[in-house]
Structure 1
Amino acid sequence: MMSLDFRFSSPVEVLDLPILRDHKVHVSVKRDDLIHPFISGNKWRKLKYILTQAHEGRKSTLVTFGGAWSNHLLATACAGAKFGFKTHGFVRGEPVQNPVLAMCRLYGMELQFVDRTSYRDKKKLFNENFHVRDAVYIGEGGFSSSALQGCAEIVQELPQKYDHIFVASGTGTTVAGLAAGVLQKNLATRVHSVPVLKGGDFLKNDVQTLGIDPEKITFHTDYHFGGYAKYTPELLAFVKDFVQRTGMMIEPTYTGKAFYALLDLVQQDYFAPDDHLLIVHTGGLTGFLGMFEKF
């Protein structure tokens, strides 16, 4: 197995839009989408220390879980190929073919489709098919305390202090990591989560499971646009306009909802004049592969 080289980083860019100038709010973007084409954004942050532990434990195989369009499956497949691990992905639902799964296979991932009932007990699937001596279990979306450690490093990399930090949330790992990073540096920064699933209050339990007090995070639960991977014409129009105005690619499942929420709150004067905001671009742009016809 090759040695691990973790020299991946991302820049911070200033976002310049008329609405921000009008409301005298400063917004910067942590471009984690630029870390790597396929191990990008929070997916890399979540995998970094899991890979370190797998390497130190001389594990040969990374085993993880996801839906048919999972960015996490693709990131794990690519990371396995790059760092010398075999990879196995349990895919929720009936067998299908799509570009994301094709790329997973191209990177060498063995895919195993499982029915939705069986998929709920992921530990059982792992234990029935793998031995802990050889394989490492990676939760869906990379959810783990090791992933939190990687996400906390986002705060360590920032060039200045911010009044607010925003991020889209699926499992809560990234926002928990940001809150941990803020606590480690003893900052007054308020961390904000934009849940992309309907009923996003469940994320409070997720972050608490990772040892973070959910009261340290503000959850904006009204920007899910119908639920996970759901969208409306309004959201699609926003994404298209944003990309054309900024040259920065976002997508409707995660980042589109986060940027929409932030700018909507700016419009409502949620922030004080001269507040400095940061939004983390978490990548996941391969989600566009299944919906180009919408644009």
Structure 2
Amino acid sequence: MRLYIKRDDLIHPVISGNKWRKLKYALVEARQKGVTEIISFGGGYSNHLHALGYCCNKLGIQFMALVRGNYRATPTPMLKDLADWQAQIVYLDKATYQLRSQTDFIAKWQAAHPHALIIPEGGSQTQALAGVAELLNEQTQHFSHIVLPVGSGGTLAGLIAAASTNAADTRLIGIAVLKGQDYLEQQVSALLPQHSFDNWLIDHDFHFGGYAKRNQGLLAFCSTFYQQTQVPIEPVYSGKAAWALKQRLADGYFPPGSQILLLHTGGLQGARTQ
């Protein structure tokens, strides 16, 4: 048995990992169409908003971040970066934020900003699949299993579609980072072409109580992991995926001879203090 880590956190110091891959073709199309404003959604530590805010600043596109919760009194490092990049930040209460994927809610924002491109939370949309597929195409060896964190489903969906063509016997194991059994499966399936795939599953045993929830054990694990490997991980995404993999290895889940790839999807906003 062999274990590998794909360091997608090293793509770029700001727009690392799956955030760049999911945004790439949406931004290419935005440039081609002359889009002057982009609107998207996320939490106070969102890797997606951070990456998109940076890209919009570099491309000269106005960015509006619709943020879950009110951080006016205590802005996070991510939100301070957005402000430095001239993003417009709008804070939404929890009840309003829950409407973010509903047609009427999107239509309201589109009507108020008729020339804006609205990108879903996490960048998870059909355009993201091609960018994520490039991740798998970069690999020069075969893996029996790929393990990765799952938050909005776009990265897993892209890998499922790509693997069905290029690595049909590779098993994709998503580690849920939030409470979302059935919901996450529906999110992934909605992004896939209209036929079924049987090369994936989502493990819901390691979300630690919900999105961004953690305990001292997980925090200590992230610290120890870095000390032993010099690979930085955080407790929101990569830390939960690494913890889950360690536990499943101890459980004997993987058959002898497995070639396992742990995908570090980048984004370390959850570990920042400044």
What TM-score does the superposition give when structure 1 sets the normalisation length?
A: 0.85
Distance 1:95 1:253 in 2: 19
What is the CA-CA distance between 1:89 and the residue it aligns to?
0.8
Choose from 181, 206, 228 the match for 1:200.
Answer: 181
Deviations 1:147-171 (A, max 9, x none): 1221111111112111001110001
The corresponding residue for 2:7 is 31
What is the CA-CA distance between 1:92 and the residue it aligns to?
1.8
The corresponding residue for 2:103 is none
Deviations 1:162-200 (A, max 9, x none): 100111000111111111110121431111100001233
> Is 2:207 the counterpart of 1:231?
no
Alpha-carbon RMSD? 1.6
CA contact (8 A) 1:91 1:114 kept: yes
What is the CA-CA distance between 1:234 and the residue it aligns to?
1.6
Distance 1:119 1:236 in 2: 28
In structure 2, the CA distance between the partners of 1:106 and 1:125, relative to structure 1 (3 Å rule), is farther
The corresponding residue for 2:226 is 243
Deviations 1:49-103 (A, max 9, x none): 1101111111111111111221111111101122332211111222422211010
What is the CA-CA distance between 1:121 and the residue it aligns to?
3.3
The corresponding residue for 1:111 is 89
In structure 2, the CA distance between the partners of 1:202 and 1:214, relative to structure 1 (3 Å rule), is farther
CA contact (8 A) 1:148 1:174 kept: yes
Choose from 113, 118, 131 the match for 1:150.
Answer: 131
Q: Residue type of the partner of 2:157?
A: A
Choose from 23, 37, 46 the match for 1:61.
Answer: 37
Q: Residue type of the partner of 1:118?
A: T
Q: Residue type of the partner of 1:159?
A: T
What is the CA-CA distance between 1:216 and the residue it aligns to?
2.6
Between 1:114-123 and 1:146-155, the stretch displaced more is: 114-123
Q: 3-state SS of the aligned residue for 1:89?
A: strand
Q: 3-state SS of the aligned residue for 1:68?
A: coil
> Is 2:164 the counterpart of 1:183?
yes
The corresponding residue for 1:76 is 52
CA contact (8 A) 1:207 1:214 kept: no
What is the CA-CA distance between 1:209 and the residue it aligns to?
0.5
Distance 1:119 1:103 in 2: 22
Q: 3-state SS of the aligned residue for 2:257?
A: coil
Q: 3-state SS of the aligned residue for 2:198?
A: helix
Distance 1:175 1:211 in 2: 10
Distance 1:232 1:37 in 2: 27
- Runs (4+) of structure 1 exceeding 4 A deviation are none
What is the CA-CA distance between 1:125 and the residue it aligns to?
4.7
Distance 2:257 2:117 in 1: 46
> Is 2:253 the counterpart of 1:270?
yes
What TM-score does the superposition give when structure 2 sets the normalisation length?
A: 0.91
What is the CA-CA distance between 1:260 and the residue it aligns to?
0.8
Q: 3-state SS of the aligned residue for 1:203?
A: helix
The corresponding residue for 1:162 is 143
The corresponding residue for 2:266 is 283
CA contact (8 A) 1:119 1:125 kept: no
In structure 2, the CA distance between the partners of 1:268 and 1:121, relative to structure 1 (3 Å rule), is closer
CA contact (8 A) 1:92 1:119 kept: yes
